[in-house]
Amino acid sequence: MTEPNGSFEVACDESGSEGEKLVGGNTDVFAHAGIRLTTALAARCVEETRARAPSPTVEYKSDVIRRAKHRAALVWLLGPSGPLHGNAHVYLIDKTFLVVTRLAGLLPEADPHVVHRQGRRALGDARWTAFLAAFNDLLRAGPVGIRNGRGPRPSAEAVFHLVDGLPYLRRAMPGAAALRAQLRTDPGALPALDPLVPAILQAAAHWGASVPVSLVHDRQTLLTDDRVARLRAAAGTTLAGLRLVDSRTDPRVQVADLLAGAARKIAEDALHGHGDPELTALLRPYVHPRSIWGPGGGLIDRR
């Protein structure tokens, strides 16, 4: 659909969102899908998917097509003869690796993959994960004393005490403390760790590289009017608009939900070393090469 300002619309939805809870949550992968289909084509896609994977549910969601008995329908949806081929993309985020990426961004010229590898080697998996969980808590939005009823949020000093023996990581402490202070003084700031923020910016960059794109997105509590304005400013000329809709009224967003949910499950299986080779191969062409992804999984083509 072409807009009066010359832009076009792409419908988006996500799967695996737990806000800024990135370590130790219910899901390890966040997937954000964007599709470029007309409303009529999207409605036909939903109808065809229902026919291939029947369900009595009123709002057809991605959990239906992820069931093993509906595998053939999922293969059709992702395959080269399906409606999404060439009309969709998926931005994947390994949630733990997003925390590592934010940590590395506070260190001079640090490669997140190197930081991740060295941290695990020096501390072991359990201590490294505990440090990342504490760092995650430090940078979550909200007042300094509130942490979902689990006691006071840790200070930067307490978090980096966990890596006392690693001086190169402790160099990130001043930047982390400053970022935490900035988040406390500006409640409307874009969250430092919510994966929806980089996902929307990458969707705008991907689809709006030549012509500005207008994104139609399922409603999200993160996307207040103020934050939508900040996202538009951050995206620059690539993002012409960001409109929130009820997914039940827009079949394009329903199709984006199908793709995002399927992508998250396929990617999570691959991340944990028990991926489905056929589904992984079908998903790979959709995956954004700048997805935030750690080692393993075989999903990212770093073009």
Residues, the chain, total?
Answer: 303
C-beta separation of 257 from 15 below 8 A: yes
- Amino acid, res. 70: H
Mean pLDDT estimate for the chain: 91
Question: Which pairing describes strands 213-218 and 239-245: parallel, antiparallel, or unpaired?
Answer: parallel
147 has a pLDDT exceeding 80: no
pLDDT at 142: 59
Q: What are 52-68's pLDDT values in tens digits? A: 999 998 888 899 999 99
pLDDT at 57: 86
8-93+192-286 has which CATH code?
3.30.420
pLDDT tier, 79 (very low <50, low <70, confident <90, very high otherwise)? very high
What proportion of the chain, given as a percentage, has pLDDT over 70? 92
Q: How far lies 57's CA from each of 4, 53, 61, 69, 250, in Å?
A: 36, 11, 8, 16, 16
Q: How far lies 27's CA from each of 17, 93, 269, 300, in Å?
A: 8, 11, 11, 19
C-beta separation of 115 from 97 below 8 A: no
C-beta separation of 168 from 198 below 8 A: no
C-beta separation of 49 from 258 below 8 A: yes
pTM: 0.93
261 has a pLDDT exceeding 90: yes
Q: What are 12-41's pLDDT values in tens digits? A: 999 999 999 999 999 999 999 999 999 999
C-beta separation of 34 from 8 below 8 A: no
Q: In the numeric block, which tokens belong to residue 212?
A: 């500005």
Domain spans of the chain, in order of start: 8-93+192-286, 96-185
Q: In the numeric block, which tokens belong to residue 50?
A: 């229902």
Q: What is the mean pLDDT of residues 232-236?
A: 95
> Smallest Cα–Cα separation from 195: which of 35, 17, 23?
17
